[in-house]
């Protein structure tokens, strides 16, 4: 069971139940749809879909949203750790995802600019993270053995 949960290589081979495989694809499509609604709806779906009262000060709703965002970040970080420690062949893909995620956060900030009391560290870090992610993507796609700098496992 652990070999199926943590296989030695990441590839197209899936040996589980077909229904579970197809349902996972459906769940991924639904997740994409929900994400796009939250991204592009004028209120992020907070009032129009989730029913959050946006007429009041909104402090509790903002705290709630940050809690959800924190949960998403924990899940993403666990996946990053799994890739770094167990599925290193996916490191280039993870750098590509990191670059897209950084560009996406910057775009959302431009589309839906927040009112800030001071510059958030993440906002400033985006200008460092984006070129770093692109550079590391390029380096991760190069043959490390030929350059004497491969990550071994």
| Placement of tokens 């652990």 in the chain | 2
Record the pTM: 0.74
Torsion of CA 127, 132, 133, 136, to 10 degrees: 170
For 28-58, give one letter per residue: b (16+ CB within 10 A) or e. eeeeeeeeeebeeeeebbbbeeeebeeeeee
Q: How far is CA 91 from CA 7, 78, 103, in A?
A: 16, 14, 18
pLDDT in tens, the chain (153 residues): 778 777 888 888 888 889 988 988 898 898 888 888 888 888 888 888 878 777 777 788 888 888 888 899 999 999 999 999 989 889 999 999 999 999 999 999 899 888 877 777 778 899 999 999 999 999 999 877 644 445 555
CA–CA separation, 118 vs 120, rounded Å?
A: 6
């Amino acid at each position: 069971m652990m070999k199926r949960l943590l296989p030695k290589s990441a590839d197209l081979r899936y040996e589980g139940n077909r229904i579970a495989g197809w349902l996972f694809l459906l769940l991924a499509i639904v997740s994409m749809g929900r994400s796009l609604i939250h991204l592009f709806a004028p209120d992020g779906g907070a009032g129009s879909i989730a029913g959050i009262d946006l007429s009041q000060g909104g402090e509790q709703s903002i705290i709630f949203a940050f809690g959800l965002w924190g949960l998403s970040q924990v899940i993403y970080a666990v996946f990053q750790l799994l890739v770094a420690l167990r599925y290193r062949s996916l490191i280039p893909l993870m750098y590509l995802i990191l670059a897209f995620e950084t560009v996406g956060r910057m775009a959302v900030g431009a589309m839906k600019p927040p009112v800030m009391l001071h510059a958030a560290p993440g906002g400033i870090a985006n200008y460092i993270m984006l070129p770093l992610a692109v550079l590391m993507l390029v380096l991760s796609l190069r043959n490390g053995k030929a350059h004497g700098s491969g990550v071994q496992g």
